[in-house]
Structure 1
Amino acid sequence: MAAFLFLLFLLSEAASDLIMLSVHPGEDAILPCRAADVPIRAVEWTRPNLEPPQYVLFYRDGHLDTTHLHPSYKGRVQLLDRHLKDGDVSLILKNVRRHDRGTYECRVASVGFTRTKRAILDSEPIRTIQLQITDSNSGQSKDENSTPVGLYIGLGVFFALLFLT
């Protein structure tokens, strides 16, 4: 089964940079993201469809910056590894709610990053995740565009990250 999930992960990576992830309301979600193995100075998680401020998480110089964090995420987000070991900048979203459904983007800046004020990093996202919230009773998503394959891709990414570290 693990080999199948890993293969599914590899195929999904080849086909698209978009990862589909499904969770139930009230659960914690891990949104996987891995940067190149270089010293990281800043990590930015955003939701492009949120009204400004759109930050889900902004981490700079070893500290979370909650100044411009969207109010619905305060106290519910953290990095999986605050030390950013091996470039792991995965996001933990606690107590997922229905309004958390949407697109999440992960960006990083290396040590050469010199901006001192809050701004979207001038780079393409290194990971884009489509988070789906499933109905606890039926296991089916309330969003008619979702597919169960997203769950397998998300699990594949999670297990692949575990096996690769």
Structure 2
Amino acid sequence: MMSASNVSLCLLACFLSFTVSTEITVKPGDDVTLQCQSPRGAAITLLEWSRPDLETDGYVFFFRDSRSYEHYQHPSFRGRVQLRDPEMKDGDVSVILKNVNINDAGTYECRVLAGSTGRELINTINLKVEDSGDTAGDISAGGHKDEGEKNGGHNDENMQRCFRVIVGLSVTFLLLVL
């Protein structure tokens, strides 16, 4: 049988390793920020932004030992990706993808090696690129013109999932304490 402290540590580990998954919709030609937050105060020794759905090698963005390496990038991303905050203050390892095109649609993953922890998946983003003629921006079709920005790029399903996890962990913790 697990003690209350072991269960608390297990819950804390689950909560800290919880990755965020978001969906963002943009138009071709837009710049988009792919957000990712590593632990505050940790020394970031490696940052990888990748597209697992690409069939070839290469990163969206690769950073190691205090500098980025463009030659490790997939050719379609060279010259179009930069850190939002080059100093990565407060653990902000977000990148800006410039001049988005239809081929940029897909799943993006942010992995960080910080301090003594292993390389960790922090965030997954599903990027959709849609022309303005789509019904996604048509209010009469049930869409919302600024839907991608309205929730900071989060869709309702992901927000609900996050809320359920937080409530579940909170209730479990309260039950253990009582």
How is 1:26-105 mapped onto 2 (pairs within 5 angstroms)?
26-37=29-40, 38-105=42-109
Q: 1: CA distance between counterparts of 2:154 and 2:52?
A: 25
**Structure 2 unmatched ranges of 5 or more:** 1-17, 138-142, 156-178
Q: 1: CA distance between counterparts of 2:120 and 2:90?
A: 20
Helix, strand or coil: the match of 1:67? Answer: helix
Q: Which has the higher helix share?
A: 2
Helix, strand or coil: the match of 1:86? Answer: helix
Deviations 1:107-159 (A, max 9, x none): 1111448xxxxxxxx64411000001121234538xxxxx86972443469xx
Q: 2: CA distance between counterparts of 1:16 and 1:125?
A: 7
Please report the RMSD computed on the Cα atoms of aligned residues, expressed in angstroms.
2.7
**Using a 3 Å threshold, how does the CA distance of structure 1 residues 27 and 51 change in structure 2: closer, same or farther?**
same
Aligned length: 130
Q: Is 2:36–2:93's contact at 8 Å kept on the other side of the alignment? A: yes
Structure number with bigger Rg: 2
Deviations 1:63-109 (A, max 9, x none): 11112210000000011011010000001000000000000000111
Counterpart of 1:154, as a letter, is: G
Question: Which is bigger in relative contact order (C-alpha 8 A, separation at least 6)?
Answer: 1
Q: Is 1:22–1:154's contact at 8 Å kept on the other side of the alignment? A: no
Q: 1:154 aligns with which of 149, 152, 155?
A: 152
Alignment match, 2:14: none
Q: Is 1:19–1:150's contact at 8 Å kept on the other side of the alignment? A: no
**Structure 1 unmatched ranges of 5 or more:** 1-14, 114-121, 142-146, 158-165
The TM-score with structure 1 as length reference comes to 0.69
**Using a 3 Å threshold, how does the CA distance of structure 1 residues 104 and 156 change in structure 2: closer, same or farther?**
closer
**Using a 3 Å threshold, how does the CA distance of structure 1 residues 150 and 105 change in structure 2: closer, same or farther?**
farther
Alignment match, 2:130: 134
Alignment match, 1:117: none
Counterpart of 1:46, as a letter, is: S
